[in-house]
Amino acid sequence: MTRKSFFAALALMIPALGLAGPGERRQAQELRDFQFVQVDKNSGGRVGGWLPGKIPGDVITDLFRAGKIKDPYVDFNSQDALWVNDWDWLYASEFDAELAAGERCWVLFHGVDYESEGLLNGVEIFRHTGMFSRILVEATALVKSAGRNRLEVKLVGQGNRPHLRNYQLDQFLAQLKRRKTTKTQMSYGWDIAVELIGAGIWDKAEIFKTGPVMIREIGVKTRNSGEVALDIDFDSSAAGKAIFKVTVSPENFGDKKPVLVKEFPVEPAAGKSSANLEFRIPNPKLWWSRDLGEPNLYRLSAELLVNGKTSDSVAETFGFKEVVWEQNPGAAKGWKWVCRLNGRRVFLRGANWVPPDAMPGRLSDEKYEQLIGLAAAANINLLRVWGGGMREREIFYELADRAGIMLWQEFPFACIYAPPYPRGKKFQALVEQEVSGIVRELRNHPSVILYSGGNEFVVSQNREIISLMRKVVSGLDPDKRFIPASPAEGDSHNWVVWHQKGNLTDYFADEHALISEFGIQALPDVQTIEKYISPGLRWPLGEVYKHHNLEYGKIMKYISAAPHGESLESYVAASQEVQAYYYQRALEHWRIRKYRVSGALFWMFDEPWPGMVGSVVDYELRPKPAYARIKDSYSPLLIAADLEVRSWKPGDDFAADLFLVNDYQREIAGLKIEALLSGEKIAEWDADAEPDSSLKLARLEFKIPAGKKPVLELTVRNREGVIAHNLYELSLCDAKAAPRFNRALEKPAKRFLGSELQLSVDGIFLLE
């Protein structure tokens, strides 16, 4: 199948889109075409001429499109783009906005990176710091009744982080810089991302008109019994009476006819005010994750009538779902990671999600659609939106809603160890603003089931901002769980493998309730490498690969487990083979033992630029072999062999326990299970899979045939054909344990950084 036909098939998995974002207004005019110019930070003078810019976007992408810099993703070119951070940048666009009597005009930015100043027709309308909170400004008094209006946004360059030869000191000073911002943390450089601090209007920019009363926002809370509560915020030019008309219709199921039309009297006060309304939908269709049912969505259309005329109208999508977190059996008290969705247990077959592009201007809606399609096809039911990345654009959450993929959303705090985050009131106000903005943006999405304070920071040192984040979530979205950080409360980031150069036994020894990070690097497809690394630099693996995040000493340890020659193609194949081996074996180990372990999330699903990282789908959307293995290992009906950590060769005696795992909430009867060893059938069984179960099916004991490659293949059939499959390359094994020196650093590192980080700190002080 070609890549084009493959993605066309994936597109069929998600219904056609008619997306309604938070407060979607059909009358809104989206501003896409801007011009931009370089600005001297000291004099404020413009440097050079105006260049075309695109919104959503960023300065670096616009400079690349204009031919002013080379592609930052090729070779070492990103280093030549660092100068961008030492300048300010001015963006400008024009629009028409004829206002009738009583009409008001509004300017709305959904996301600006990071410090910005806005002017409309030469008058300042805002100053803003923060990447994830919206900027909403009334422009009624400034717009021209005839002629063009000019909107300008100045973006303040953030300067570069330190660049020192000493890695540890360099990273420490970089922490000091980024710890004061709520900007995308990986933009300062990460082990998965290149340093591209940048700036830009990275999310939508809109102009819209209303009557005297504007609907600022609608929060939707539901109960599975059908109760709906609306928290509505208004902005009114004067106090008065109005009618709030609500129409609720099925969004992605049924005949789309309204199931409720109701009018409520409201009395907005002058300025900002709020109202709380309640109603009930009879016999609601629930939102389910993709393995438990249908992801049913409703559309709420709200119209505000003042003196019989429409003053404003917005649309939201929402769903009915309830999530409860229960104690893991046999785990430490308080480790509550057994997820019940609408009363049914669900094993979390997860992956970590990072921004699909480090340069927002390069990111298209189509790439979001293709990635969510790939995640759905791989049987993933949970994505953790990592705290070193982004609050994604609205389309990502809409796609997850429709695909039945649950989301764990982290706030933009990551990997700050010492000193802690600032404790002053100014920073706390910034945290409250940004976290509130994220929660307000996401709270109506049924796919979002959990908020986390961030990734891998010391909870005990940052109780002030954690308390603040918890308060925001409790006030705006009280039905969702909040954890202070990840790992915390019984989840594990297991980096003994990779950072400490451990092996599978280190995964098998991990007794946490949820494994929320684990993984190893693998080189991307050769075609991807050829696109972003010049011919003279491709072989042998040198500095350009390290610039693209390759950790040479570590990957060579793991490549050594697979036979390989001395060529780029062979190294690519070996690294991908070992990655697939680790992901398959780890995921199946934990699935077999559900619900002592109630979920696993591999690191990572996608990648933000063409890097040599732990993703299973590379930057060009080419799946690595691990993707196919994960698809089998994450099948809701899993047939798995619980193998020892060893290899087998022809003539060896082979033994393993065979398990049948059913994540469906229904019995699957009449199954025919077959085992093939080196292409020859060695056993078959009849079985029934009980609902939500893990069953030891049999013990396999056979001799590997002489002269044949040791491969175990398992299939499960019913009357319709093959419904589950698995494959094991039995000759592959990484038996090398972590070096003693690495192990010796583990305990003092944890004492220094805080025990709540559990296994996440492994390797922080290690050099290659």
**For residue range 133-156, what is the model confidence (pLDDT) as tens digits?**
999 999 999 999 888 999 999 999
Mean pLDDT of 596-613: 98
Query: Which residues, 6+ apart, have CB-to-CB distance to 76 below 8 Å?
Result: 544, 547
Q: What is the pLDDT of residue 171?
A: 81
Buried b vs exposed e over 315-354: b needs ≥16 C-beta within 10 Å?
A: bbbbbbbebebebbeebeeebbbbbebbebbbbbbbbbbb
CATH 2.60.40.10 assigned to domain 648-729? The reply is yes
Q: Which fold has domain 212-318?
A: Immunoglobulin-like (2.60.40)
Is residue 15 very low, low, confident or very high in pLDDT (cuts 50, 70, 90)?
A: very low
Q: Assess contact for 343 and 326: CB atoms under 8 A.
A: no
C-alpha neighbours within 13 Å on the C-beta side of residue 767: 5
Residue 3: per-residue pLDDT: 46
Q: Indicate whether 342 pLDDT > 50.
A: yes
**pLDDT beyond 90 at 17:** no
The whole-number pLDDT of residue 757 equals 52
Kindly state the percentage of the chain with pLDDT values over 90: 88
Vertex 651 angle, CA 649 and 655, to 5°: 75
pLDDT at 365 over 80: yes
Please give the DSSP secondary-structure letter assigned to residue 537: G
pLDDT at 748: 63
CA distance 36 to 61: 12
pLDDT in the model for residue 135: 98
How much is the average pLDDT of 666-691? 96
The pLDDT value recorded for residue 749 is: 60
- Beta-bridged to residue 640, according to DSSP, are 659
For 542-555, b/e burial (b = at least 16 CB within 10 A) is eebbebbbbbeebb
Q: What single DSSP character describes residue 268?
A: P
Instruction: Tell me whether domains 31-207 and 648-729 share a fold.
Output: no
Strand order from edge to edge, sheet including 338-341 = 323-326, 338-341, 344-346
User: Which residue's entry shows tokens 């094993």?
Assistant: 347
pLDDT bracket for residue 165 (50, 70, 90): confident
Residue spans per domain, the chain:
31-207, 212-318, 345-633, 648-729
Confidence of residue 452 (pLDDT cuts 50, 70, 90): very high
Burial class (CB in 10 A: 0-12, 13-18, 19+), 590: buried
**Cβ neighbours around 148 below 10 Å, total:** 11
What average pLDDT does range 375-403 have in this prediction? 98
Evaluate if residue 676 carries a pLDDT over 50.
yes
Position 744 pLDDT exceeds 90:
no
Q: Give per-residue pLDDT as tens, 281-319.
A: 999 999 999 999 999 999 999 999 999 999 999 999 999
What does the pLDDT average to over 220-227? 98
Task: Indicate whether 399 pLDDT > 60.
Answer: yes
pTM, rounded to two decimals: 0.95
Spatial separation of the C-alpha atoms in residues 57 and 65, rounded to whole Å: 11
Residue 446 in this model has a pLDDT that exceeds 50: yes
Would you state the pLDDT for residue 6? 41
Q: Phi then psi for 81, rounded to 5 degrees?
A: -100, 0
Q: Beginning with the edge strand found earlier in the chain, give each strand of the sheet holding 205-210 in spatial order.
A: 29-30, 205-210, 104-109, 135-138
- Per-residue pLDDT, averaged over 190-199, amounts to 96
Residue 89, CA distances (Å) to 36, 61, 205 in order: 7, 13, 17
What does the alpha-carbon distance between residue 251 and residue 269 come to, in Å, rounded to a whole number? Answer: 33
Residues 6+ apart with CB under 8 A from 611: 192, 193, 194, 524, 548, 549, 550, 619
pLDDT 10s digits, 45-70 = 999 999 999 999 999 999 999 999 99
Residue 731 has pLDDT above 90, yes or no: yes
Mean pLDDT of the 668-695 span: 96
User: pLDDT band at 164, cuts 50/70/90?
Assistant: confident
pLDDT at 4 over 80: no
CATH of domain 345-633: 3.20.20.80
Q: What is the pLDDT of residues 483-518, one digit of tens each?
A: 999 999 999 999 999 999 999 999 999 999 999 999
Q: Is the pLDDT of residue 542 over 90?
A: yes
Q: How confident is the model at residue 1 (pLDDT cuts 50, 70, 90)?
A: very low
The mean per-residue pLDDT over the stretch 422-434 comes to: 97
The residues pairing with 277 across neighbouring beta strands, listed in sequence order, are 230
Mean pLDDT for all residues in the chain:
93
CATH code for the structural domain at 31-207: 2.60.120.260
- In DSSP terms, 654 is beta-bridged to 702
Q: Is the pLDDT of residue 12 over 70?
A: no
- 96-126: b or e for each residue (b if 16 or more CB lie within 10 Å)? ebeeeeeebbbbbbbbbbbbbbbbbeeeebb
| CB neighbourhood size of 270 (10 A) | 11
Percent of the residues in the chain that have a pLDDT greater than 70, as a whole number: 93
Cis peptide leading into residue 604 (ω within 30°)? yes
For the stretch 323-336, pLDDT in tens is 999 999 999 999 99
Q: Strand 344-346 vs strand 338-341: parallel, antiparallel, or unpaired?
A: antiparallel
